[in-house]
């Protein structure tokens, strides 16, 4: 990660990354450590990976705290002495939330309120959290603009909208500087390639390399604003360190402002790998949005956000990573 996403020294500044053993959280952690920050990671390793802890365990500025955000005392200890919070801990996946809405709510809503309350009580400078493009629901217009949302389509989307509502109330009531990031289909190295809810790109790479059945839901013409993980890291860093008070009390689209079909994604991966392997089409997935495309002008204006990686740049890096993983 060569791009610089901050203009002030991070040396000895104290950050908490919840879910820091996860995909996006581990990339945020890597950036902060690279630039001299002190980073405490809180993760219960339910979906985070021990390998993402091992990456940094020997770093003198890294502290790993195993614990669950559903436990308020854990959150209180995790936020003690912290200046900035990047809250990435969550139970992701629309299908997971459809199957088990209770767990999604406990982690994504109750856990969120625990971390936010503990951060408020600890007097943090800013609190940035992961929201989701799923909050747009069935709103039909493209590109998606932050002030216009529709009917929510999954329990996961409800939990992320609840995060935004709580954040706004806490900002108004307690004066805590809070910002939400609506991620659009973030991808990159270290996405979990295993399990029932594995991310689509590692699944595609694995299936194509091993010539096993690769399933595409629906006709594959649904579109997504696929966003390379460095762009999500940038948004977190810029939001946490924002000096303009107008940057807080907001939710931002984090994307590239371009969308591609799932069929295009699949064919691009096959082309990068140089392997001809046809996918298998199946029924559309419950709770899925048909098309997704972000307007990123708000993040550009208030955070200075500018994507460093477009779709194909990030895809090549990601496919190379998983090609080595499966080789």
Catalytic residues: 156
Q: What is the spatial order of strands in the sheet that 38-43 belongs to?
A: 62-66, 38-43, 14-18, 84-87, 126-132, 178-183, 250-254
C-alpha to C-alpha distances, 160 to 91, 141, 163, 293, nearest whole angstrom: 11, 20, 5, 18
Structure tokens that stand for 292 in this block: 């997704």
Q: How many CA atoms lie within 13 A of 234 on its CB side?
A: 24
- In the chain, count H helices and then E strands: 12, 13
Is there a contact between 27 and 53 (Cβ–Cβ < 8 Å)?
Answer: no
Q: Are strands 186-187 and 227-228 parallel, antiparallel or unpaired?
A: parallel
What separation in angstroms does the CA of 120 have from each of 11, 85, 177? 23, 10, 9
């Amino acid at each position: 990660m060569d791009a610089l996403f901050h203009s002030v020294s991070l040396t000895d500044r104290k950050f908490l990354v919840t879910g820091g053993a996860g995909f996006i959280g581990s990339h945020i952690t890597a950036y902060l450590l690279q630039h001299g920050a002190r980073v405490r990671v809180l993760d219960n390793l339910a979906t985070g990976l021990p390998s993402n802890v091992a990456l940094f365990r020997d770093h003198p500025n890294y502290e790993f705290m195993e614990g669950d955000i559903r436990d308020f005392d854990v959150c209180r200890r995790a936020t003690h002495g912290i200046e900035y919070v990047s809250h990435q801990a969550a139970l992701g996946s629309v299908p997971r939330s459809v199957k088990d809405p209770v767990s999604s709510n406990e982690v994504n809503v109750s856990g969120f309120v625990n971390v936010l309350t503990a951060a408020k009580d600890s007097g943090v400078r800013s609190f940035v959290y992961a929201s989701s493009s799923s909050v747009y629901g069935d709103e039909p217009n493209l590109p998606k603009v932050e002030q216009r949302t529709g009917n929510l389509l999954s329990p996961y989307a409800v939990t992320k909208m609840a995060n935004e509502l709580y954040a706004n109330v806490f900002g108004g009531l307690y004066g805590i500087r809070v910002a939400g990031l609506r991620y659009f289909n973030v991808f990159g190295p270290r996405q979990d390639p295993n399990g029932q809810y594995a991310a689509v790109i590692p699944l595609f790479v694995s299936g194509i390399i091993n010539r096993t059945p690769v399933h595409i839901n629906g006709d594959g013409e649904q579109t997504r604003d696929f966003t390379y993980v460095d762009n999500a890291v940038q948004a977190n860093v810029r939001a946490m360190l924002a000096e303009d008070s107008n940057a807080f009390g907001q939710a931002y689209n984090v994307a590239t402002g371009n969308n591609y079909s799932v069929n295009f994604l699949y064919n691009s991966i096959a082309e990068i790998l140089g392997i001809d392997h046809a996918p298998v089409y199946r029924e559309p997935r419950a709770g899925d949005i048909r098309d997704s495309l972000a307007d990123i002008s708000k993040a550009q204006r208030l955070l200075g956000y500018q994507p460093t990686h477009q779709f194909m740049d990030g895809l090549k890096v990601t496919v190379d990573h998983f090609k080595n993983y499966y080789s």
